[in-house]
Amino acid sequence: MEGVLSNAKHATDGKPHYVKPGDIILTAQTKSTLLPGQKPIRWIMNYVSCEEDVNNLSDKIWGKHWRYIINGKNVRSVEPFDINDIKVTSKNYDAVQTFAIVEPEDEEKVLNWINEPTITYAYDSGIFSEEFKEGQILDYDEVIQKLDLKYRNTPEFKETVINLIQRPSLLSNAIKEKYGYKCMICGYPGFVKKDGEKYAEVHHMIELNKKAPETLQSWNLLVVCPLCHKKLHYAEVRSDYLNPGWKIVIDGEEHIIK
């Protein structure tokens, strides 16, 4: 495990298929080496590439030769978990020797646990100028309107280590900028991270794994604080679309969002 974390690399004798740069890799420690009560998955990273180990790099890192080296980046910790504790399918992940693709039915549980795809970070004007080739963006309503047109299609899945829905971070960032990173449920103003960037999260009222048309658009997005985001996923929630806006009842408390 130390070799994986310190080098952002993994090794295998079988070459992974249907994996693209940026896909999330769940790094699991061999269960026989775990301490009592320790969970096997505590780290994730993003896939970069896979190459045949012709220079014997795996021998130098792990003291054993593997045919392929998997190169990663952005190694980061997650709340420890065992995929067998949260899965909904009957797949036996313990039987996996080197790598496996997470079943689509288990995807949502994994993504909710690691809380990875829905988190996007502070606004970068360069992102918008690169997207629209118009330089500085001043009108967020115009930006959102353009992105609504871009994302008017039905949500699509891409094949990855886990089936990860492609979420439009440009639109999420624009929505957060428009509402000042303020939670639309409780009004919490967000916070400034230690790197100086503002932080908020975005919730899709109709879950993207339903693959309903147009659910990538702004009408389906709410800016929320981390606590309200968790409540929307795990509390007793009822909601009605008001066209525009939402009526949301969380644990018996009603919120009208326009």
151-198 pLDDT, tens digit per residue, is: 677 655 444 444 444 454 678 888 898 999 999 999 999 899 888 888
pTM as predicted: 0.43
Question: pLDDT tens across 190-201, in order?
Answer: 899 888 888 899
Distances from the Cα of 2 to the Cα of 28, 43, 75, angstroms: 12, 11, 12
Residues 6+ apart with CB under 8 A from 35: none
Structure confidence at residue 20 (pLDDT): 83
Digit-coded pLDDT (tens) for 6-31: 788 888 888 877 788 888 888 887 77
Q: Which residue has the higher pLDDT, 113 or 236?
A: 236
Residue 138 banded pLDDT, cuts 50, 70, 90: low
Cβ atoms of 4 and 47 closer than 8 Å: no
- Phi and psi dihedrals of 58, rounded to 5? -65, -35
Q: What is the 3-state secondary structure (H, E, C) of 203-217?
A: EECCCHHHCCCCCCC
